A and B are shown apart, each in its own frame.
Chain A
Amino acid sequence: MNVLLRLANFFSPLTHYIAYILAYFFETLFMLIFITISLVAVIYIFRKYMARLQVRRGPNRVGKFGIFQMIADMMKLVQKESILPKKRDDLPYKVAPVVVMLGLFLGFALMPYGSFYYIGSLTVTHSSVSLVLLIAVIAIMPIGEILAGISSHNKYAMVGALRAVAKDVSFEVPMMITILALVMMASGQTSSPLNIDSIASSSRAFIAYGLVQPIGLGVFMISMIARASYSPFDLGESDSELVSGHSTEYTGMRFGIFYVGLFGSIFLGSMMVSTLYLGAYNGPFSGDVGFIYLVIKTWILVLISFTIWLSMPRIRIDKFVNFGWKYLLPASVINLILAGILTLGWSL
């Protein structure tokens, strides 16, 4: 029994259609609340963690331990005057942040969240091809960045957008191939290997796909770092060269959305890695606490991401493109071959 059915049951005194519409509405609302809380937590933890690494205190003025700092920052950004560049392409300029947010939320909507005590399964969307959908959806966010870079008619933003394109092309192909290897392996375990939920639940037999495919896990993790574009791969918005890349001309809440989008990408990426490779909501103790396992795994990966972010210098764009085509791609192909051999061996 999942959340949707429970909500529908709750609204069942109303007619069937209205009950389901309300159920979907509230389910989406709960998901949005979870994502918003998670994003605020990610940003807050990032600032505290960064401060710890850098022997500082971090935010500590708004609320106890500065926990309301993010809310204060958001209030500030909302109040700020939105300065629009004169030569902008109006529609893409204004649409770009929305596109980034859209990609982020759609990505979260497709994740399997596991079950949580008596509430039951928390998964929002049930599709038999949700993995394909997820890959399609996470490709939306870079489009928002490119739109932002080109429409602001700023040279820094333009160079940032060009870099973002070069970067995306060079990591997405290896990422696809690793996912292919994953699907291939999952097809031996489950009848619908394109459904993330069934991949996740089938990984119980394997413990985790990441243990069987360490190369795939590595390539996918690097791809997720590159996709979220933080250091060492923050080429699109490298602040020491390109001011802040595609978001240079953005102010106020529009800038805030890009900022949130970055942290959202980190969270979504960590969640994807833990869902696909680290056994998703499966854990050592049985029981309906899958959601907790998923959150714990995701947070461990988020902290690893922060550590990488804060200790690495930025790689140069040509070196990254080289790295993508000369190392990541062959590694993913080797992973594919190994996965094929393993899958055959298993089914024999």
Chain B
Amino acid sequence: MTEAEERQKWVDLNMGPQHPSTHGVLRLKVKLDGEIVKELEPVIGYLHRNAEKICELDYYCDSIIYFDRMDYVAAMNMEVGYLEAAEKLLGIPPPERVQWIRVIMAELSRVASHLVWTGAFGLDLGMLTPFFYAFIEREKILKIFTEVSGSRQEVNYMSIGGVYQDFNEKIVQEINEFCDQFPKKLEDMYDLFTKNDIFISRNKGIGVLPKEVALDYAVTGPMLRASGVPYDVRKAEPYLVYDKVNFDIPVSQKGDNLARFLVRFEEMRQSIKIVKQAISKLPEGPFFNPKAKKSLMIRLRGEGDVYARTESSKGELGVYIVGDGSVKPYRLRVRSPTLRNLSVLRYLAKDQMIADVVAISGTIDLVFGEVDR
């Protein structure tokens, strides 16, 4: 076939990076046959900020802010991921109380991230209203974050061997209040989606990701669990105090858009369960390791190489640090879960309608700060 004939068969459509449906700066090169997507190629790199290299030029304690800006929707999760690796390398384990505080913050952050996803997914399908309901709830979480750290999104709350500020009565009370009122709002939102026939018909059986393909593409997080693999780092390789709390990991065998939606909603319920337990079990004690006082912070030296995996809201977040005995890491590398999840979009989008491709790329839960880093 000549090039001219080829061109007649397909319409090349370039979606993004400034397109209302692509989350952040994703660019999709699409070959359209009428409404059917014949081929799709995601183009990434529009938000590349060289975060890993910048981390290598900074002290261990300073890198946290770059992790905040990677997955800016779930900043606490990213901080936990980095600190798991850094504390292992530097040999400064956080005290018991800090571990519980981190679990609370990470789970609240996971809820916030899933809420953003819920709202954005509604917008992808043309539902305008749930977006605001989700963001109102998220705002309450951000208020808690502001209370503890002074910042809404880029929190910079945790530090090596501790946290910036201990929980006081007010924060504990605010978290309790949130946990009390949130489940009802969540169920309202759940009904708004799942009791709508059009929503079900748009999602049921669309974008089916089989188990084998998911494993081949190294998909993790809610996407993998929606495909029937009960893998969650919090259970498989517990870090912090996740082995001391009681929670389930939701799994669905369907693997379609609806399964991903349901898994994420169930995860929010479980996260609230974890937060409630953690608040009740919160032990007394110091909120930082004395080996990492503020004055000693920039003198911390690490040697050897460390890989730590944690469960961020998007999937398995891996942080690899090589230390050469100086005050700065020799090499730092982040295994971004969203990048692996995004790579499967090409498989999922093939021979789907263009409206479904938007929905499928919505269910991946893309945050471009993390994909490009």
Seen from chain A, the residues whose Cβ lies within 8 Å of a Cβ on chain B are 50, 53-56, 155-156, 159, 162-163, 231-232, 234, 238-241, 243, 309-319
Instruction: Decide if B122 touches A313 in the complex (CB within 8 Å).
Output: yes
Q: Chain A nearest CB: distance from B183 CB in Å?
A: 19
Residue of B nearest to A51 (CB): B132
- Is B198 interfacial (CB 8 A cutoff)? yes
Instruction: Decide if A55 touches B133 in the complex (CB within 8 Å).
Output: yes
- Is B192 interfacial (CB 8 A cutoff)? yes
Complex interface: chain A residues within 8 A of B354 (CB): 159, 241
Instruction: Decide if B132 touches A54 in the complex (CB within 8 Å).
Output: yes
Complex interface: chain A residues within 8 A of B353 (CB): 316-318
Instruction: Decide if A313 touches B196 in the complex (CB within 8 Å).
Output: yes
Complex interface: chain B residues within 8 A of A155 (CB): 11, 13, 32
Instruction: Decide if B129 touches A313 in the complex (CB within 8 Å).
Output: no
CA distance A232 to B129 in the complex (A): 13
Interface residues of B in 307-364 (CB under 8 A from A): 353-356, 358
Instruction: Decide if A313 touches B355 in the complex (CB within 8 Å).
Output: no
Instruction: Decide if A243 touches B128 in the complex (CB within 8 Å).
Output: no
Name the residue among B127, B199, B201 with the largest chain A CB count within 10 angstroms: B127
Instruction: Decide if A55 touches B136 in the complex (CB within 8 Å).
Output: yes
Tell me the dominant secondary structure on chain B's binding face.
helix
Seen from chain B, the residues whose Cβ lies within 8 Å of a Cβ on chain A are 11, 13, 19-21, 32, 34-35, 122-129, 131-133, 136, 192, 196, 198-199, 201-202, 353-356, 358
Q: Chain A nearest CB: distance from B182 CB in Å?
A: 16
CA distance A16 to B196 in the complex (A): 61
**Partner of B126 from A162, A313, A319 at Cβ < 8 Å:** A313
CA distance A231 to B354 in the complex (A): 17
Instruction: Decide if B129 touches A310 in the complex (CB within 8 Å).
Output: yes
Complex interface: chain A residues within 8 A of B21 (CB): 239-241
**Partner of A55 from B13, B34, B132 at Cβ < 8 Å:** B132
Q: Chain A nearest CB: distance from B223 CB in Å?
A: 20
Instruction: Decide if A238 touches B129 in the complex (CB within 8 Å).
Output: no
Q: Chain A nearest CB: distance from B158 CB in Å?
A: 32
Complex interface: chain B residues within 8 A of A53 (CB): 129
Complex interface: chain B residues within 8 A of A163 (CB): 35
Complex interface: chain A residues within 8 A of B128 (CB): 50, 54, 231, 309-310
Q: Chain A nearest CB: distance from B354 CB in Å?
A: 6
Q: Given A159-B35, A241-B358, A316-B353, check contact A231 B132 (CB 8 Å).
A: no
Residue of B nearest to A166 (CB): B35
Complex interface: chain A residues within 8 A of B20 (CB): 239-240, 243
Instruction: Decide if A232 touches B355 in the complex (CB within 8 Å).
Output: no
Complex interface: chain A residues within 8 A of B132 (CB): 54-56
Q: Chain A nearest CB: distance from B57 CB in Å?
A: 40
Complex interface: chain B residues within 8 A of A238 (CB): 126, 355
Residue of A nearest to B193 (CB): A313
Instruction: Decide if B355 touches A312 in the complex (CB within 8 Å).
Output: no
CA distance A315 to B359 in the complex (A): 12
**Partner of B127 from A50, A239, A311 at Cβ < 8 Å:** A311
Could you list 6 A-B pairs, sorted by A, with CB under 8 Å?
A: A156-B13, A240-B124, A241-B355, A311-B129, A313-B127, A317-B353
CA distance A155 to B13 in the complex (A): 7
Q: Chain B nearest CB: distance from A58 CB in Å?
A: 12
Instruction: Decide if B126 touches A231 in the complex (CB within 8 Å).
Output: yes
Residue of B nearest to A156 (CB): B13
Complex interface: chain A residues within 8 A of B199 (CB): 313
CA distance A234 to B21 in the complex (A): 15
Residue of B nearest to A310 (CB): B129
CA distance A238 to B129 in the complex (A): 16
**Partner of B355 from A50, A309, A311, A316 at Cβ < 8 Å:** A316
Q: Given A232-B198, A238-B355, A317-B355, check contact A311 B35 (CB 8 Å).
A: no
CA distance A156 to B13 in the complex (A): 8
Q: Given A56-B132, A240-B21, check contact A315 B202 (CB 8 Å).
A: yes
Complex interface: chain B residues within 8 A of A318 (CB): 35, 353
CA distance A231 to B122 in the complex (A): 13
Name the residue among A156, A234, A239, A240 with the largest chain B CB count within 10 angstroms: A240
**Partner of A314 from B13, B34, B126, B131 at Cβ < 8 Å:** B126
Residue of B nearest to A158 (CB): B11
Seed contacts A310-B128, A313-B202; 18 additional CB < 8 Å A-B pairs = A50-B128, A54-B131, A155-B13, A155-B32, A231-B128, A239-B126, A241-B21, A309-B128, A311-B127, A311-B196, A312-B127, A312-B196, A312-B198, A313-B199, A315-B201, A316-B202, A317-B35, A318-B35
Complex interface: chain A residues within 8 A of B133 (CB): 54-55
**Partner of B356 from A310, A315, A316 at Cβ < 8 Å:** A316
A-B pairs with lowest CB-CB distance, top 3:
A314-B126, A313-B125, A54-B132
Complex interface: chain B residues within 8 A of A319 (CB): 201
CA distance A156 to B21 in the complex (A): 13
CA distance A238 to B125 in the complex (A): 9
Q: Chain B nearest CB: distance from A299 CB in Å?
A: 21
Instruction: Decide if A240 touches B129 in the complex (CB within 8 Å).
Output: no
Name the residue among B129, B131, B358 with the largest chain A CB count within 10 angstroms: B129
Residue of A nearest to B22 (CB): A240
Instruction: Decide if A240 touches B35 in the complex (CB within 8 Å).
Output: no
Q: Chain A nearest CB: distance from B8 CB in Å?
A: 14
